[in-house]
Structure 1
Amino acid sequence: MYKNSDRFLTSFNRIEKMLRDLLINKKDASFSKAVKILKNSNALIKQYSDDLLEFAELRNAIVHNKIDMTYAIAEPHDEIVEKIETIEKELSAPKYVIPTFQKYVYCFQNTDELSKPLKVIHEKKLSKFPIYEGKTYQGLLTQKGITNWLASMEQREEQLKSSYQIKDVLPFENEENSRFIAEDTAIYEAVDLFKEHTSKGRRLEALLITKHGNPSERLLGIITAWDILEIS
């Protein structure tokens, strides 16, 4: 039966090797230094950087205070061991946006009547729709954009007609409310994209997933701000 210190050190050493493999330069950097370097370019390491730095301190306490090969003064708690092993698994096999967020995405042409997405909003309780002109992406239609459009109609005292098309509403959307990403994007990279937009005062409504992140490719899935709240 392995002791907690043995399990912890085994997992720590495996993570340390992964960090060194990720470093392009400074492969002789310490564990803590490697974490501080890599968190600027790796979303998963950034997510767990505080934990990893604490693990480095605990590792030093175990190794430097070991009396002999069979006894360590510092024995990590079960939850610490479980946590480092979980992080090790995530680093060795990170989760990607596909298949996690693979789903059918309701799309429309900009010449479609507005009644079509409104019907989906009512029946499916969905509120974000990629809009195309042929195969060219035009923007993301949302409930907020529709509300802005309705408010402008009210101000102009115009009467609503059943023949309004999506292209009449799309100008009322924020042009930067969506972004395309590749199917092999790590989930925490997707989380970072939402956080990055928020920090700049811009709301990202959805990430649209295609094979290579090209807007002209077939949509494989969609990630909304609500999805991100469930993971982060």
Structure 2
Amino acid sequence: MYKNSDRFLTAFNRIEKELKSMLMKKELGFSRAVRVLQKSNAIIKQYTDDLLEFAELRNAIVHNRLDMAFVIAEPHDSVVNRIEKIEQELTQPKKVDPLFIKRVIAFQQNDPLYHILDVINHKGITKFPIYNGDDFQGLVTHKGIAKWLARRTKTNTGPLFETSIMEVLQGEKFDNYKFISTGTSVYEAMEIFREQIGNGNRLEALLITENGTSKGELLGIVTNWDIMEI
């Protein structure tokens, strides 16, 4: 049976190896590597405080060994479980594929608005990619529809629900979405939502294609609610 200190040091060493593989300067110490990489790696940014505390605990265990068979203190079970979880997240991060790969209901820009309203009513879906043939045009949301209806009822011109989706789309924010690739990690997706909020822009969805561009086949969609559930 492995002792907690053995499990802890094994996980720590694997994390350290993973950090070095991400760095140009391999000679950086563990804590310095964490501080450098947190700027570019969403998973490390998420666990920075934990990793820095693990570095202190690792030093205490290694430097205070009385001999190779005895350590001055054994880490608590919760600490060992935590570092092993983080090690797995770093070395085998959860990807948006396959978690969020699914059929996405999309519409053509000339479809009538009532097509979207019918889906909202029966399926509860509220975010819809819009295309012109194979060319992506934008993302229509239930909030955008509500704002459009509020404006349209003031003019009261023509049948509302026969209006083309493109007219509704023109009132949406042009930057309410981003495309990501199938290789994007869940933490990277979460960080994209966070960064946009920090920039004063709330994303409605991340759209998944193979290469992360609007030119690829739409394979899935991630909303901020999806991320919160994960």
For the aligned residue pairs, the C-alpha RMSD in angstroms reads 1.1
Per mean C-alpha deviation after superposition, the further-off stretch among 40-49 and 152-161 is 152-161
Q: Does 1:185 align with 2:195?
A: no
SS in structure 2 opposite 1:69? coil
What's the CA shift for 1:157? Answer: 3.7
Asked if 2 retains the 8 angstrom alpha-carbon contact of 1:153 and 1:159, the reply is: no
Give the aligned partner of residue 224 of structure 1: 223
Q: Does 1:8 align with 2:39?
A: no
- Cα distance per residue 1:144-202 (max 9 Å; x no partner): 11011011012224454342110111111111001111110111111010001111111
Give the residue type in structure 2 aligned to 1:116. H
Give the residue type in structure 1 aligned to 2:42. A
The separation in 2 between residues aligned to 1:219 and 1:140, in whole angstroms, is 13
Give the residue type in structure 1 aligned to 2:62. V
Residue identity (%):
55
SS in structure 2 opposite 1:227? helix
Give the aligned partner of residue 100 of structure 1: 99
Asked if 2 retains the 8 angstrom alpha-carbon contact of 1:96 and 1:187, the reply is: yes
Give the aligned partner of residue 39 of structure 2: 40
Q: Which runs of 5+ in 1 are unaligned?
A: none
- Cα distance per residue 1:192-215 (max 9 Å; x no partner): 100011111111000000000121
SS in structure 1 opposite 2:47? helix
> Which residues of 2 match residues 41-80 of structure 1 at below 5 A?
41-80=40-79
Asked if 2 retains the 8 angstrom alpha-carbon contact of 1:101 and 1:222, the reply is: yes
The separation in 1 between residues aligned to 2:112 and 2:72, in whole angstroms, is 71
The separation in 2 between residues aligned to 1:147 and 1:163, in whole angstroms, is 15
The separation in 1 between residues aligned to 2:79 and 2:189, in whole angstroms, is 27
Give the aligned partner of residue 21 of structure 2: 21
Give the residue type in structure 1 aligned to 2:136. Y
What's the CA shift for 1:65? Answer: 1.4
Give the aligned partner of residue 115 of structure 2: 116
Length, aligned pairs only? 230
The separation in 1 between residues aligned to 2:220 and 2:94, in whole angstroms, is 15
The separation in 1 between residues aligned to 2:161 and 2:149, in whole angstroms, is 13
Give the residue type in structure 2 aligned to 1:96. K
Give the residue type in structure 1 aligned to 2:20. R
Give the aligned partner of residue 166 of structure 1: 165
SS in structure 1 opposite 2:162? coil
Q: Which runs of 5+ in 2 are unaligned?
A: none
Q: Which runs of 4+ in 1 moved over 6 A?
A: none
SS in structure 2 opposite 1:67? coil
> Which residues of 2 match residues 134-173 of structure 1 at below 5 A?
134-158=133-157, 160-173=159-172
- TM-score, structure 2 normalization: 0.97
